[in-house]
């Protein structure tokens, strides 16, 4: 079973509602792009992370840049792990 679906079932007991939530995420919110070639959804998520760091924690962003650590290297494993299961 998909990890996201399993987590949803913890909060939503009706399997039909979980199914339609997954359909909504994958098609209406375009999360299926996480699995497409060149992972365009992942890249847009990483852009959002960078924007939030610029706004909320500029020191962390500067530290990552000083260490020559890209957004993809720092944060893509987190997103991939979440959505691979």
For the stretch 16-74, pLDDT in tens is 888 888 888 888 878 788 777 888 888 888 898 899 999 999 999 999 999 998 888 88
* Cβ within 8 Å of residue 32, ≥6 positions away: 26, 41
In this prediction the pTM is: 0.60
Q: How far apart are alpha carbons 17 and 15 in whole angstroms? A: 5
Please give the pLDDT value at position 1. Answer: 41
Higher-confidence residue of 7 and 29: namely 29
Position 84 confidence tier, pLDDT thresholds 50, 70, 90? low
For residue 46, the tally of other CB atoms under 10 A from its CB is 19
Residue numbers of the domain that contains 27: 3-84
Domain total for the chain?
A: 1
Please give the pLDDT value at position 6. Answer: 63
Q: Is residue 27 within 8 Å of residue 19, measured between CB atoms?
A: no
């Amino acid at each position: 079973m998909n990890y996201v679906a399993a987590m949803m079932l913890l909060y939503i007991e009706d399997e039909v509602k979980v199914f339609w939530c997954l359909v909504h995420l994958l098609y209406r919110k375009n999360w299926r792009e996480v699995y497409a070639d060149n992972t365009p959804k992942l890249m847009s998520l990483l852009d959002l992370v960078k924007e939030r760091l610029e706004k909320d924690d500029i020191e962390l962003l500067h530290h990552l840049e000083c260490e020559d650590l890209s957004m993809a290297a720092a944060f893509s494993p987190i997103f991939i792990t979440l959505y691979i299961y």
